[in-house]
Amino acid sequence: MRLIPLLILLSVLPAVADTPRPNVVWFVVDDMSAEFSCYGETAIATPHVDRIAEAGMRFENAFVTAPVCSSSRSAMITGCYQTTIGAHHHRSGRGEHRITLPADVEPLPARMQRAGYFTCIGSGLPGFDHRGLPVKKDQTGKTDYNFQWNKAIYHSHDWAGRKEGQPFFMQVQLHGGKLRGDSEASFAELQKRAAAAFGEAVDPGRITLPSHYPDDPLLRRDWAAYLDSVRLTDQHVGLVMDRLRAEGLAGNTLVIFMTDHGISHARGKQFLYDEGTHIPFIVSGPGVPPGTVRTDLVESIDMAAITLAAAGLAIPGWMQGRDVLAEDYEPRDIVFAARDRCGEASDRIRSARTATHLYIRNFHPDRPLLMPNDYKDSKAILQRLRELHAAGSLPELAENLLFAPARPAEELYEWKADRWQHLNLAGDPAHAETKRALSARLDQWIAESRDPGDESPEVYDLEIADELAQIKKGTERHRAFSGNADIYRQWMRAGK
């Protein structure tokens, strides 16, 4: 029998028939890596997320299938690779160019509704928003799906509106790493909030930056603000869990805590290194053995399959996510991820990861890592990195990894030993067989998952027109976005 009873057992065994179906609560956090105490972070304490981990199962090696919000969320809510459902380009299919799901694929909340669940998405705290700040009117939480969907798949922003005894499926959507903003002023504002909440903010002088970033005061302030955003996220999670306990719901609620991708930084969000794809993933609730740590590879799309199984519902054959809690589950030997167009930045990267190696293929190696991108270039940390690069004052490692004019077509890393993926082994003859094997597995996945790859120039133009329509004309951002798009059009025509 599974860890969580199946629907068929509920219908056959009288002793279990009256057992209520579990509620399911997802915590989905923006722009945050695994900087939690239970994952080894020592600069801050995160007691509330740690408590969920202590009561359940923590996955050490969980990865998103896409390192940017909308593509990742499109995959999560369907349990399918974003490439398979054509939702892999960031913020796509929302204007003149429309994207519809394959005929047999549907968002998870629709299936939960048909099974009698009350579906909701919000902050988890009535009267407060996704930032943990007071609001006069509660709002629906972040969706950000790259396909056409019916808003009726969500009944409400909160489970309070359900019928008495009705099980609920709740997504608690939190602002996470976005709390720190993108400027020195926003860093300072978050420090004030953290000091008010915890007595003091994280001291920028006491943190350790990843070694590929220069030891710069602004980057330190940003990382300190990021760690404070982790603490504030942990605090919000704790309040939601307190509410579940106060309402007598905690004992029959499956909780899944995760983030939609890694930290938003130069080599994090939008890229397939651990900084962009490795996430916290914790499951706690009925039937989940407490204090369990799993080291096998899991993917963010597994969350949908876990949820269906917890509710006693069959996992459809088209769903690529797996119920990793099933007793007959066979751990994966490999996981995959994909990066595609992000805003105006047209790109295509794919990766295959085993327990020991990370293989990355850059389909446009002639384009630099930090290619023109209005979203990333508007951030103070990227502006500082570009300033240091222009002044010739970056350390050699940062210069080589961040500002090389081109990228290798293939990258290979021993990712556990090489935490930040600095040493590319793709050209090392001693690793030639590993590279060949992973390249072949990636080719197989691309074919089997029906990965459509790059947009056509015509679709790119439609998507860019839609993005520009959302930006006020005459502004610096509109000018930058439009100018960058022209650069990509030139690169496409040149075959770059």
Report pLDDT digits (tens) over 91-134: 999 999 999 999 999 999 999 999 999 999 999 999 999 999 99
Q: Specify whether 318 is located in the same domain as 360.
A: no
Q: Specify whether 323 is located in the same domain as 410.
A: no
Determine the average pLDDT of the residues in 6-15: 34
Distance of CA 432 to the CA centre of its chain: 31
Q: Specify whether 196 is located in the same domain as 73.
A: yes
Residue 162 lies in a domain: yes
Q: Specify whether 233 is located in the same domain as 378.
A: no
For residue 70, the one-letter residue type is S
Q: Specify whether 143 is located in the same domain as 292.
A: yes
15 pLDDT higher than 50: no
Residue 58 lies in a domain: yes
Residues 322-347: pLDDT tens digits? 999 999 999 999 999 999 999 999 99
Residues 467-494: pLDDT tens digits? 999 999 999 999 999 999 999 999 999 9
pLDDT in the model for residue 16 = 39
The pLDDT mean for the chain works out to: 95
Give the least confident one: 5-19, 26-40, 223-237.
Answer: 5-19
pLDDT in the model for residue 335 = 98
For residue 3, give the DSSP letter.
S
Last residue of a domain, one of 330, 365, 382: 330
Q: Of the candidates 466, 376, 456, 340, which has an alpha carbon nearest to the alpha carbon of residue 82? A: 340
18 pLDDT higher than 70: no
pLDDT grade, residue 41 (50/70/90)? very high
pLDDT in the model for residue 220 = 97
Residue 126: phi and psi, rounded to 5, are: -50, 135
Q: Confirm if 182 and 373 have CB atoms less than 8 A apart.
A: no
Q: Which run of H or of E encompasses 350?
A: strand 349-353
Determine the average pLDDT of the residues in 412-419: 98
Q: Of the candidates 109, 115, 105, 124, which has an alpha carbon nearest to the alpha carbon of residue 314? A: 115
pLDDT grade, residue 8 (50/70/90)? very low
CATH number of the domain enclosing 168: 3.40.720.10
pLDDT in the model for residue 465 = 97
Q: Specify whether 309 is located in the same domain as 375.
A: no
Q: Specify whether 324 is located in the same domain as 354.
A: no
For residue 125, give the DSSP letter.
S
Residue 337 lies in a domain: no
9 pLDDT higher than 60: no
Q: Specify whether 227 is located in the same domain as 293.
A: yes
pLDDT in the model for residue 104 = 95
3 pLDDT higher than 50: no
pLDDT in the model for residue 4 = 40
Residues 374-409: pLDDT tens digits? 999 999 999 999 999 999 999 999 999 999 999 999
Residue 335 lies in a domain: no
pLDDT grade, residue 358 (50/70/90)? very high
Domain ranges, residue 428: 349-494
Rounded CA separation 437/420 (Å): 23
**What's the token pair of residue 41?**
């972070």
Residues 71-101: pLDDT tens digits? 999 999 999 999 999 999 999 999 999 999 9
Determine the average pLDDT of the residues in 181-190: 97
Q: Specify whether 297 is located in the same domain as 262.
A: yes
Three-state secondary structure call for residue 87: coil
Q: Of the candidates 192, 271, 180, which has an alpha carbon nearest to the alpha carbon of residue 219? A: 180
150 pLDDT higher than 90: yes
pLDDT in the model for residue 213 = 98
Rounded CA separation 290/357 (Å): 30
| pTM reported for the whole predicted model | 0.95
Q: Which residues make beta-bridge pairs with 254?
A: 24
pLDDT in the model for residue 14 = 34
pLDDT grade, residue 439 (50/70/90)? very high
pLDDT in the model for residue 13 = 34
Cα dihedral sign for 43, 44, 49, 55? positive
Provide the percentage of residues in the chain whose pLDDT is more than 70: 96
Q: Of the candidates 265, 442, 266, which has an alpha carbon nearest to the alpha carbon of residue 363? A: 442
What's the structural domain count of the chain?
Answer: 2
Cα→Cα distances 132→98, 159, 221, 237, 338, Å = 34, 18, 22, 10, 31
Provide the percentage of residues in the chain whose pLDDT is more than 90: 96
Q: Specify whether 60 is located in the same domain as 193.
A: yes
Residue 68 lies in a domain: yes
Q: Specify whether 314 is located in the same domain as 374.
A: no
Q: Specify whether 248 is located in the same domain as 362.
A: no
Cα→Cα distances 415→276, 297, 330, 357, 369, Å = 13, 13, 23, 6, 19
pLDDT grade, residue 7 (50/70/90)? very low
Last residue of a domain, one of 330, 365, 384: 330
Residue 342 lies in a domain: no
